Structure 1
Amino acid sequence: MRLILLAALGGLVFSLAIPLDWCLPHSAVLQVTGTTVKRMASGDDAHDVYFISTTEPGTNKVHVFRNEDTGWGFPPYLKFGSADIQAQADLLRGNHGLAKVTWYGWRIQMLSAFPNVVSLKPVDAVYTPLPVARPMLGGALLLLMAFVARALMRRRTSVPSVTEELPVVPAAPVVPAEPRATPVDAWIGTPAQAQAKPATAADWLEREDRN
């Protein structure tokens, strides 16, 4: 039972960590290498979407982001300045400058999904971003898991066992019932008397005289 509870708790924490990791912001120092605008169609809706291409400094690893307003939707970043971010990216692209890029979401190639840029700020080469969201998320999930596990364990140990709470009462001895007297017993006595002393003809005559 304890393993089942721990497995269920682990599944709950994992199911919470996935959406939180998608919507929480991530930051990194990247070099802007290109900007494009693509016409995206979703059903009957077609609109222009900004894209920003970057690489990690000192490596050839490429990261492509979309630059789209979130508006009042989810996640609630209230981003309305995608055009300003795109202009800043164009400026950094010409100077091969570095920028602290903050985004949310994942890059999923099979679904053509791109992480969305939340902010883009020029930085120096010696700048190192301090991760905050992921450590806070991991610490909160570990605290939640520890709290729930402790509550379950305390509840399990506080409930007494049924065998310990109820004492075992020995069964009462069975007393055989005495045989019920019949009219014949008035003449020959009870079965016990008949076995102890067999009736004789003299006994019958004596009883007839008394009656």
Structure 2
Amino acid sequence: MFWAKWVFRGALVLFVLGFLHYTLPQHDIVRITNTYNRLTTVGAENSWAYSNPDTGTAESTTTRDIRFIEAVYENGSPMVYRNEDTGWIWPPYFKYDSSNLQAAAGNLKSTAEAPKWVVVTHYGWRLPILSIYPNAVSVRLASGPDERIIPYVSIIVILFLIFLVVMIRRMWAQFWERTVEPAAANMGEAFDSAEAQASGFWGKIKRLFGAK
């Protein structure tokens, strides 16, 4: 039981960390090489990683016309982003300007000989085996490939969640101390009293019938 409790806690922590890593904004410094639209098949195994088709263009529930942005890191590693509206669904980026973002990304394309380094803010993961792409939220010119970016939004959200967890733990501890423990003590006293009364009652019955 001890190991089961810790395995459950570990799985819960990993789930929360994975959820935050997927949802919170991340920043890549890349060189944009291409932008295009492509009909993409969205199946049951990866539909959770794509936006609601009602907020973007869609051919059907399985084949969607999705915008993509191809890029390259300074070390030459490729990266591909999708560019979809998020609408009012989760995650709450309220993005409705994917067409404008595609135009801005296309305007920032550059070559290896004359690179333009761009900061791409996105959320999500790149999982080639499931054809999953991070969703680009914004693009802007970077001062260079080594620009330092401080993730203020992620820091604020994480600090708020830590504060929320601490407050919930304190409220639960106070509730337990002020409500649950006194109720348990009262139940224990009532049980002891009932047990004593029952013992006295059966003692009288035994004496009445001369039982030893």
TM-score by length of 2: 0.61
1:110 aligns with 2:125: no
Match for residue 39 of structure 1?
Answer: 38
- Say whether residues 1:65 and 2:81 are aligned partners: yes
Residues 90-146 of structure 1, C-alpha deviations (whole Å, 9 max, x = no match): 247773121111111111111111112111111212631111232223222222222
Amino acid at match of 1:27: H
1:3-152 alignment runs, 5 A limit: 15=15, 17-32=17-32, 34-42=33-41, 44=60, 45-47=63-65, 49-55=67-73, 57=74, 59-66=75-82, 68-70=83-85, 72=87, 74=89, 75=91, 76-80=94-98, 81-91=100-110, 95-125=114-144, 127-152=147-172
Secondary structure at the aligned position of 1:117 is classed as strand
Deviates more, 1:8-17 or 1:142-151: 8-17
Q: Report the CA distance shift for 1:64/1:48 in structure 2 as closer, same or farther (over 3 A).
A: closer
Q: Retained in 2: the 8 A contact 1:104–1:115?
A: yes
8 A contact 1:35–1:90 mirrored in 2: yes
Distance 1:144 1:8 in 2: 21
Q: What value does the CA root-mean-square deviation take over the aligned residues? A: 3.8
Higher helix share: 2
- So what's the TM-score if we normalise by structure 1? 0.62
Relative distance call for 1:73 and 1:27 in structure 2 (3 A) is same
Q: Quote the Cα distance in structure 2 between the aligned partners of 1:107 and 1:166.
A: 60
Gaps of 5+ in 2: 42-58
* In 2: Cα distance, 1:19 partner to 1:156 partner: 30
SS of match in other structure, 1:127:
coil
CA distance 1:113–1:167, shift in 2 (3 Å): closer
- CA distance in 2: counterparts of 1:92 and 1:27, whole angstroms: 21
Q: Distance in 1 between matches of 2:88 and 2:110?
A: 29
Letter in 2 for 1:84: A
Taking a change above 3 Å as real, the CA distance of residues 135 and 6 of structure 1, as seen in their structure-2 partners, is farther
Call closer, same or farther: CA 1:11–1:48 in 2, change over 3 Å. Answer: closer
What is the number of equivalent residue pairs in this alignment? 175
Distance across 1 between alignment mates of 2:77 and 2:88:
31
Percentage of pairs with the same residue:
17
Distance in 2, matches of 1:7 and 1:21, equals 21
For residues 51 and 97 of structure 1, the distance between their equivalents in structure 2, rounded to whole angstroms, comes to 15
Contact kept? 1:13, 1:145, Cα under 8 Å: no
User: Which residue number corresponds to residue 182 of structure 1?
Assistant: none
